[in-house]
Amino acid sequence: MPVRSEEGAAIRRPGRWVLERADGIGGFTTGLRWERHDGTSAQWESRTARRRGRIQVHGAEGGTSAVEAEPTTVRRLRRLNVVAAVSFVLGGSLFALGAYLAQAGIGAARTVDDVYLVGGVFFSLGGYVSVLQATNAPTEIDEHGTLRSARWRWWRSRPHDLGWASAVVLFAGTLAFGVSLVAAFAEDLTVRQTNTWMWLPDMAGCVCFLASGHLAQLEIGHGHVRVRSAELGWWVVAVNQVGSILFFFAGLAAYTRPATEAVLYLGLVNWGTFAGAAGFVIGGFLQIFERPVAPSDR
């Protein structure tokens, strides 16, 4: 296997470390392994570094240990993670509630729209904080293998980072959903206007969610979609992707037919949304535990 370049990862590491291998796909780097001067090797994986703030050190005679990030970086990553995770739990819960109210015919249509809109705000918040997680991922490694973050940034382009690309696409999807959710409050829309301002943005959001999930799968699988059931991060990505698929089918079913002025399949719209939202609730709950180890936890 040809050795890939490590430049795309934008990692600052000790100059005496020698690159053994680099993993990824296309122009994206998802994993690096260096040989250290003492005969051990250090392994960096993009998602593990971003979410857990750690790298793996492999001993010269076998055995593996995790090196945690320095305390300031740990606190930053933990705070971002809990805000993103709780936002997805709340957003998914409200979407599930809205779908249930709509299916059961409980409350006025405006009440359902209100619930969806607030849920959309939490989804957008979770999406933006996910971008912040990727933007401020630790990229500096010292001689001991300890990760640390550079100065705080509200935005930074990281075009060779699959995690960053996944987060940006996800955030764009939440904004597209927002257009659809706001348009739902408009009155006396024609069928064409309904499909243009509600269905099309909704489908754009669904496609973004699917694309984001696929990029996340490629990141955690180092360029391949593979099962890594021993890793919590894989479960977070897998459950969210199932939710995205269900959202997509619910979105397709929400198309309004010009001939009848009715959606294709209302039951699938509501139950697909409910199940998809439940997937994001579960994924958000799991994400709470995909965090760095704080000094107090050691």
- Check residue 272 and give its pLDDT: 96
Phi, psi of 257 (to 5 degrees): -75, 125
pLDDT value at position 1? 35
- Cα-based distances in Å from 267 to 57, 202, 251, 252, 273: 52, 17, 12, 12, 10
Calculate helix-pair angle for 232-253, 266-287, nearest 10 degrees. 160
Q: Which residues of the chain have pLDDT under 50?
A: 1-3
The answer to whether 91 touches 123, Cβ cutoff 8 Å, is yes
> Any idea of the CA torsion for 276, 277, 278, 283, to the nearest 10 degrees?
90
pLDDT of residue 217: 96
Q: How far is CA 182 from CA 177, 233, 264, in A?
A: 9, 33, 21
Q: Give the DSSP letter string of 134-175.
A: HHT---EE-TT--EE--S--S----TT-HHHHHHHHHHHHHH
| pTM for the predicted model, two decimal places | 0.92
Local structure of 258: helix, strand or coil: coil
Q: pLDDT (tens digit, 9 = 90+) per residue, 15-34?
A: 888 888 888 888 888 998 99
